[in-house]
A = this chain, B = another copy of it.
Amino acid sequence: MDIETNETNQIIDVTFEVESEVEKEVKKRKIKEGICIVSIPHVSAGLILAENEPGILKDYINILNKLVPAGNYQHNLKDTNAESQLKSMLLGSNQTILIEKGKITLGRWQSILFVELDGPRKRHINIKVIKNDISP
């Protein structure tokens, strides 16, 4: 799945898109239960399961800026995005979500959030659905 970001730091809710892709797979392969891995092939972005509420989205970005302030990082002697890579390290780039009764199970306040830390960029999100063989 491709997305495009248009700010340096930007959080995009991809829950609906992931659910739609999983739904198609689940129908085609008649999956009742399993897992879904959502994964990004990037080192300057993150993927989290968290709340999509305007205030906390700003707080996520602000705390990352506080934990990894702009500074004289070694990587920036040859590139410019050390800060975004260090933030990415703290967030991680893949999440495993359970599938029950053919549907992704997320908590009431959980959304699947792509966290751009070095935009604007074209980004990619990989989704893989693993069927659980529940035969006894």
Which residues of A are interface residues toward B (Cβ below 8 A)? 28-30, 33-35, 37, 39-43, 48-51, 53-56, 58-60, 62-63, 67-68, 73-79, 82, 85-86, 88-98, 105-110, 126, 128-136
Contacts and interface: CB of A to CB of B under 8 A. Distances in A.
The quantity of this chain's copies bound in the complex is 3
Given A39-B96, A62-B74, 4 more contacts: A41-B106, A43-B49, A130-B130, A131-B133
A130 B35 contact: yes
Interface secondary structure of A, over-half rule: mixed
Contacts of A42: 107, 109-110
Contacts of A67: 67
B43 A59 contact: no
Nearest to A42: B107
Given A60-B86, A67-B67, A89-B48, A133 B133 contact: yes
A92 B92 contact: yes
Contact of A75 (B39, B53, B73, B131): B53
A95 B94 CA distance: 7
A128 B63 contact: no
B128 A132 contact: yes
B37 A98 contact: yes
B92 A39 contact: no
